[in-house]
Structure 1
Amino acid sequence: MTGYGSSRAAGAPPSRPAPAGASQHQLSITFEAFHGTHARKWVTYAYLHTGGEAAAREVTRSAFRQLRLLWPHALRQASVEAFAWSVLKEHVVDWLYDHQQPTALTETAAFAVVTQALLRECQQQFALLESQLGLYAAISRLPERQCDVIVLRHVIGYSDGQIAALLGVDEVTVRSHASRGKRKLAAALGIDQGTTRGN
């Protein structure tokens, strides 16, 4: 999968002080809250890359199992969301490697949601495409961060603020990745960049 490498926690920002007096019960509550917020969206992300519902659930369960074990450590990180995201990304990459499979972005049915979102923003230009496959392939060839921003925004439904937390960047950087990604898509598909709208 182009641009996709392991996102291990070793590259995470410096740790914060450990939560004072956090009991096992409190840790469990915070983990369950995080799980409830992100589980469905993580399954969607894993599905886009593995191409199968069973595989997506397997990857997501495995990632959450590891995250639960690491939860006290996760809470000491500068960004819990970014640390957790690195765990999920690592499990997706490992699954693809173990199954000797490239990302399934261009084949998964859910990826049509990206196309529809981009069509709404660039209707006249993208509507001229005879096939959506060119757009699928072009998105999957974007640099990793740009591809993630497009997918997290348009398929999974995270806000720019949530994406910023997951990727460990600010919202301006998220919007920059989105804008650059769309410009690269326009160039790859031979679309007049001056007529595309929005970030």
Structure 2
Amino acid sequence: MTSDDEWAAVQPTHRLSYRPFCDSHEATWRGLARARLHDQELVDQAVRSIRRELRRNWVCVLSQPDIEAHAWMIAKRCIADRELSSGQAPPRAVVADWIVAIRRAQVQARISLENLDNGYEELYAAILRLPERQYDMIVLRYMLDIDYRMIAVYLGITESNARTTTSQGLAKLRRFLGADTATGDMQ
């Protein structure tokens, strides 16, 4: 049996167990899957696939410098695989989870939906056009309401980089939608 002193000397990542790790991150993976997939069954399949891959490679996962970032990449790959195998692309119409995200992003990006022909649909289409990292930021920050500190952990970047990349994504959304959609100062 390991004494408390010996256990304290073990790196924290080696004390991390599979089930609590997955349980604590599943809501975020599920949110990402909902952002990309059409229906609940596909979301459930993707999350089961993420958990299976993590379990199968848990020792390797624990050896990664940024476990959460490594798990995020596995989650994205499993969701993309599910998307491809189902023959579906992200929904082109606004889905319920995106309404809140779009409202939050629109305020931060200083975008007025009144000036857009199709309102939410046009902004949603612009979000889908963002580069992968900026898209991730919009999903994490505005759809899943995750703070910048946790985003940095998930993506293996600094908090400052998470803020900057989000700002760049919001600026790109403004450009995609045209300068005439900008409103007052950022809140």
TM-score w.r.t. structure 1 length? 0.78
2:41 equivalent in structure 1:
54
Q: Does 1:119 align with 2:103?
A: no
Of 172, 184, 196, which aligns to 2:172?
Answer: 184
* Alignment deviations for residues 48-96 of structure 1 (CA, whole Å, 9 cap, x no partner): 1011111101101111111012112111110000111111111111111
Query: 2:4 — aligned with what?
Result: none
Structure 1 residue identity aligned to 2:135: C
Deviation at 1:194, TM superposition (A): 8.1
Runs of 5+ consecutive residues of structure 1 not aligned to the other structure? 1-17
Is 1:155 aligned with 2:143?
Answer: yes
Amino acid in the other structure paired with 1:119 = Q
Q: How does 1:72-151 map to 2 (within 5 A)?
A: 72-104=59-91, 106-121=93-108, 125-130=112-117, 131-151=119-139
Do the aligned partners of 1:164 and 1:171 also contact (CA within 8 Å) in 2?
yes
> 2:159 & 2:65 partners in 1: Cα distance?
16
Give the Cα–Cα distance (whole angstroms) in 1 for the partners of residues 109 and 156 of structure 2: 29
Cα distance, 1:186–1:58 mapped onto 2, change above 3 Å: same
Instruction: Provide closer, same or farther for how the CA distance between residues 122 and 76 of structure 1 changes in structure 2, counting only shifts above 3 A.
Output: closer
Q: Which residue of 2 aligns with 1:197?
A: 186
Query: Per-residue deviation at 1:157?
Result: 1.9
CA distance in 2 between partners of 1:188 and 1:196 (Å): 19
CA distance in 1, matches of 2:63, 2:178: 46
Q: What fraction of aligned residue pairs are identical, expressed as a percent?
A: 30
1:45, distance to aligned residue in structure 2 (A): 1.1
Partners of 1:35 and 1:176 in 2: CA distance? 28
The CA distance in 1 between the partners of 2:72 and 2:54, in whole Å, is 10
C-alpha change, 1:153 and 1:162, in structure 2 (3 Å) is same
**Contact map agreement 1:85 1:166 (CA 8 A) in 2:** yes
Give 1:150's aligned amino acid.
I
Offset at 1:195?
Answer: 4.0
Over the aligned positions, Cα root-mean-square deviation in angstroms equals 2.4
2:179 counterpart SS class: coil
Distance 2:165 2:116 in 1: 24
Residues 82 and 167 in structure 1, CA contact (< 8 A), matched pair in contact too:
yes
Is the CA contact 1:19–1:75 (under 8 Å) kept in the aligned structure 2? no
In 2: Cα distance, 1:124 partner to 1:66 partner: 40
Residue 127 of structure 1, CA deviation: 4.3
Q: How many residues get paired?
A: 175
Aligned with 1:39 (options 16, 26, 35)? 26
Q: Which has the larger radius of gyration?
A: 2
